[in-house]
Amino acid sequence: MTCASGRPIGETMNLFQFCYGLIHWLVILVNHLWYWLGNVLPGALGDFFTGIGDLAASHGNIAVFAILLEVIIFVIIAFINVLNFIWLDRKFMGRMFDFYGPYYVGYRIGGWLQNIADGMKLFVKEIITPAKADKAGFLLAPVIFVGSSFLALSTIPLGSNFGVETSAHDTGVPGGALIAFAFFAIAPFSILVAGWSSNNKYTLIGGMRSAAQMMSYEIPLLLTVASVFLLAGSFSFNGIIDAQKDIWFAIPLFLGFIVFLVCLMAEVEVQPFDLPEAEAELVEGWTTEYSGMRFGLFMMTSYLRGYIGGALATALFLGGWHGPTLIPEPIWFLIKAYTVFVVIEWTRWSLPRIRVDQILNLGWKRLMPLAVVNLLIAATFKTLGWF
């Protein structure tokens, strides 16, 4: 016996099935109205309303809305995580720097509401578009930046049954890891657009630096990810994480994990690699001309990218949601992602900024050979049949 979404009753449901059930219930509730109208109205008009009811109750329609609901749930989770991350970053930074961090706004919960207060401040600030800026590009850049980051996020599952799935029998998005990295790598493009369209010399240099930086870190990053794909034999996050049930990939691929973390810091543009917005020499880099909530979106998304980075490192190297079963799977996943984020922030606040020619050297002369060696190690393990 199965329920409406095709799930055998009694088995654990995944997020898609949950959303499907919810939407299905809503549709049936509303369909009472359509079918009643179809009954009472005569002729073609009645058939029309019956048709609407049939269309609404069709599998495809409910599935589309279920997927939308899933995405909304993931966006809400992401927003809460971003608020947590900003708070955690400020608190951690404060402790490192000998002060308390946010304290007064919501002091019973450790100053957590400070982020919301800052967000409100950014909301009421004026959004200024420079007179000689390229309006379309100036507007489009934050959209691409935020949108691509959220898209990358939506492919990362938080638990074996808690991800954006497209059918009842799916386990995660097929090829989800590939999609996540593809969307994750769009950001430098939007930075370039933002830097160019702002019509400002600092932003221009920042945008160009971002493009140059991407050249250096993207290839080693993807090579280490390829080694994970090789060991797991799967492109989807669920497959990769299931392959780490016995041993985390961070242990056999320790070298790759280090390379991945370094590249990740370059990808999310934190301190040693935050060349595009080097505030000492480029004022605020590519975000110089953005004000108000547009800047707030950039700021928020940079933390969101920190979260995505932590989640990717967790999923690919740290065994995802696997851990002692006492704690629910999504909590395990988030604990690991937060830990990776804190490590990134720790490095971020204690290292100086690297120079643009040095990051190219680092990427091509150090990280690239290491990534290739790591791929070789992974291939050796695979050939020996250990994985």
Partner 1 sequence: MWINMGPQHPMTHGLWNLRIKVDGETIVDAEPEMGYLHRGIEKLCENRTYTQIIPISDRLCYGSSLTWSHLYCLTVEDLMGLEVPERAEYIRVAAIEMQRIASHLMWLAAYAADLGTLVGFIYTMRDREVFIDLLQALSGSRLTYNFPRIGGVAHDVPPNFERDSLRACTYMEKKLDEYELLFEGSKVFMMRNEGVGLLKKELAMNLGVTGPPLRASGVKYDLRKDQPYSVYPEMDFQAISMPDGDCYARYKVRMDEMRESCKIIRQAVQKMPKGKWRVVAPRNGPVGTGIGRVEDPRGEGMMYVVGNGTPKPYRLKIRSPIFVTVSAAKQMLVGYKVADVVAIMGGLDMCIGEADR
Cβ at position 98, least distance to partner 1 in Å: 6
Residue of 43, 98, 109, 384 interacting with partner 1 (CB under 8 A): 98
Beta strand segments in the chain, E:
none
Task: Supply the minimum distance, in Å, between the C-beta of residue 231 and partner 1.
Answer: 30
Shortest separation between residue 174's beta carbon and partner 1, angstroms: 40
DSSP single-letter state for residue 362: I
Report yes or no: 188 and 284 within 8 Å, Cβ to Cβ. no
User: How far, rounded to the nearest angstrom, does the alpha carbon of residue 6 sit from its chain's CA centroid?
Assistant: 29
> Is residue 201 near partner 1 by the rule CB under 8 A?
yes
Residue 285: DSSP 8-state:
G
Contact track, partner 1, 221-260, x by CB under 8 A: ----------------------------------------
Identity of the residue, 268 or 375, whose beta carbon is nearer to partner 1 in the bound complex: 268
Task: Report DSSP state, residue 172.
Answer: S
Q: Cβ 286 to partner 1, closest distance in Å?
A: 14
Query: Using the 8-state DSSP alphabet, how is residue 290 labeled?
Result: -
128 near partner 1, rule: CB under 8 A: no
Verify binding: residue 205, partner 1, rule CB under 8 A: yes
Q: Is 351 in the site for partner 1 (CB under 8 A)?
A: yes
DSSP-assigned states of every residue in 29-92: HHHHHHHHHHHHS-HHHHHHHHHHHHHHTSHHHHHHHHHHHHHHHHHHHHHHHHHHHHHHHHHH
Residue 345 binds to partner 1 (criterion: CB under 8 A):
no
Rounded Cα distance, 274 and 113, in Å = 27
* CA-to-CA dists, residue 35 to 24, 30, 55, angstroms: 15, 9, 12
Residue pair 138/197 in contact by the 8 Å Cβ criterion: yes
Backbone angles phi, psi at 8, to 5 degrees: -60, 130
Binding-site member from 135, 355, 365, 366 for partner 1 (CB under 8 A) = 355
**Subset of residues 258 to 317 that bind partner 1, contact rule: CB under 8 A:** 271-272, 274-275, 278-283
For helices 254-267 and 368-384, give the axis angle rounded to 10 degrees: 140
Number of residues binding to partner 1, judged by CB under 8 A: 29
In the complex, least distance from residue 323 CB atom to partner 1, rounded to whole angstroms? 32
SS3 (DSSP) at 247? coil
Q: Confirm or reject binding of residue 215 to partner 1 (CB under 8 A).
A: no
370 binds partner 1 (CB under 8 A): no
354 touching partner 1, by CB under 8 A: yes
CB of 212 vs partner 1, minimal distance in Å: 9
Report the nearest approach of partner 1 to the CB of residue 348 (Å): 9
Which residues, including other chains, have CB under 8 Å from residue 11's CB and lie 6 or more apart? none
Find the shortest distance in angstroms from Cβ 202 to partner 1: 8
Given the rule CB under 8 A, which of 43-51, 55-63, 91-99, 240-248 is the region that contacts partner 1?
91-99
Measured from the CB atom, is 100 or 387 closer to partner 1? 100
Q: Where are the alpha helices (DSSP H) in 97-134?
A: 114-124
Please report, as ranges, the residues that interact with partner 1 according to CB under 8 A. 93, 96-99, 201-202, 205, 209, 271-272, 274-275, 278-283, 349-358
